[in-house]
Structure 1
């Protein structure tokens, strides 16, 4: 959970660059890749995190440190973004890494916007998520940051290299395995789906059920949620037998969980609370 200072710093910084990043054209792809790399470098170097976020350290020193590390090696806008971030106040050092990653994903979304593939990437991420639900060993291998990166990349390519996925989809999938960031693989993919959904105005509705939706159910859900959000929506159906029954519906960050397993968990919590009273 990010502190208030970090939430403000992240949001204000990204808002200040949004228009320029959106208009950066094909540079957005390179900026995104550079920022993903920098996220990884920061995650691996807690001392560097602290040096770049230390409120008692002059901003000039922080910028000089940035120049020593990436000066002349990244695009000008990447350097501007990093300079802006070290000028801001952070609740904890690690939060600057989160902000750099957020910027990287933003850049990839703007790249998809330019190519006209934003919805396609969102759907492909959802397909990736669905296909991995029944493959726990593969998920674990993709999240194993102790193993060789080449092996994880080869596994991704073997599974999805011939699926016709957009390059943005594959780059995001690679980031999720290169740098899990203390998340399980599917958590990262769901986080990315949610970010794309918000970016598109919450037009992706993820419906998790124990068995596939019928055509009638999908039509009804499309009508309901198109009316609710005020725009056409895409229904992404996820089959997860572990939910037992009912539906879990996610639109952006809003989740409605009426699955059997959620109701059983709720009953367990109520029963436990009653025993402890």
Structure 2
């Protein structure tokens, strides 16, 4: 959990710079890759994180650290993002790496927007999630921190070779296993799905069920939510056996969870509160 200062810093920075990042168009691909690389550097160097987030250190000193680190090889937008982040106050040193990664994913989404592939990437991430649910051994190896990042990326490419995944899907999926960031692989893919769902707003309805939706169910849901939104929507199905039954529906930031596991959790809380 991020502290209040970090949540404010992250939100204000992204609100301020999102329009500029969006306007970089296809350059967002380069920016996203640079930000992912910086995330990895920060994760491996707590001393650097502390140097860039120390509230007692002048911003000019932090700027000098960044310029020495990048040596002018970065995209100007990458440097603008980093300069903005180091000028803000953070609850914990490592929270700045989370913010950099968030910007990296945003950049990849804006690149997908610029190339007209946002919906395709969102669908592919959901299909990847569903496929990995049936591959527990592969899934475990993709977040095995005892294996090298190169070995994990190689495994991913071997398993999904020939699937003709979009370059953004591939880059996001490889980032998730290359830099584990203390997360299970499937959790990261679900996080990415949620970010794309929010990014697309009411155009994307993510429906999580224990077993695949039938064609009739998908068409009925599409009809219902198209009427609600007043414009065509896409049903983004996610299969997750752990929900046991029912449906979890997400539209942007709005979530309606009527899954069996959610109902059981609610019952448990009710019983516990009444005990």
**Could you state the TM-score of these two structures normalised by the residue count of structure 1?**
0.92
Alignment RMSD? 1.8
- Please list the CA deviations of residues 201-221 of structure 1 after superposition, one character each: whole Å capped at 9, or x if unmatched: 242222222332222221221
Question: For the residues of structure 1 that align with 2:201 and 2:272, how far apart are their CA atoms?
Answer: 40
Say whether 1:266 aligns with 2:266: yes
- Please list the CA deviations of residues 78-120 of structure 1 after superposition, one character each: whole Å capped at 9, or x if unmatched: 1121111111111221211111111111111111111110111
Question: What SS does the corresponding residue of 1:200 show, helix, strand or coil?
Answer: helix
Question: For the residues of structure 2 that align with 1:197 and 1:210, how far apart are their CA atoms?
Answer: 19
Gaps of 5+ in 1: none
What aligned pairs does 1:134-213 form with structure 2 within 5 A after superposition? 134-213=134-213
Partner of 2:253: 253
Contact 2:149–2:179 (8 Å) recurs in 1: no
- Following superposition, the deviation at residue 143 of structure 1 comes to 1.1
Partner of 1:239: 239
Contact 1:145–1:178 (8 Å) recurs in 2: no
Question: For the residues of structure 2 that align with 1:220 and 1:177, how far apart are their CA atoms?
Answer: 36
Question: What SS does the corresponding residue of 1:250 show, helix, strand or coil?
Answer: strand
Contact 1:145–1:179 (8 Å) recurs in 2: no
Question: For the residues of structure 1 that align with 2:91 and 2:257, how far apart are their CA atoms?
Answer: 32
**Could you state the TM-score of these two structures normalised by the residue count of structure 2?**
0.93
Question: For the residues of structure 2 that align with 1:263 and 1:11, how far apart are their CA atoms?
Answer: 32
Residues 146-155 or 250-259, more deviating: 250-259
- Please list the CA deviations of residues 240-271 of structure 1 after superposition, one character each: whole Å capped at 9, or x if unmatched: 33333222222233332222233233333333
- Please list the CA deviations of residues 126-159 of structure 1 after superposition, one character each: whole Å capped at 9, or x if unmatched: 1111111122221111112331222211111112
What aligned pairs does 1:8-157 form with structure 2 within 5 A after superposition? 8-157=8-157
Residues 198-207 or 183-192, more deviating: 198-207
- Following superposition, the deviation at residue 230 of structure 1 comes to 4.0
Question: For the residues of structure 2 that align with 1:225 and 1:7, how far apart are their CA atoms?
Answer: 32
Contact 1:71–1:79 (8 Å) recurs in 2: no
- Please list the CA deviations of residues 172-216 of structure 1 after superposition, one character each: whole Å capped at 9, or x if unmatched: 001100112122111111111111122222422222223322222
May I ask how many residue pairs the two structures share in their alignment? 275
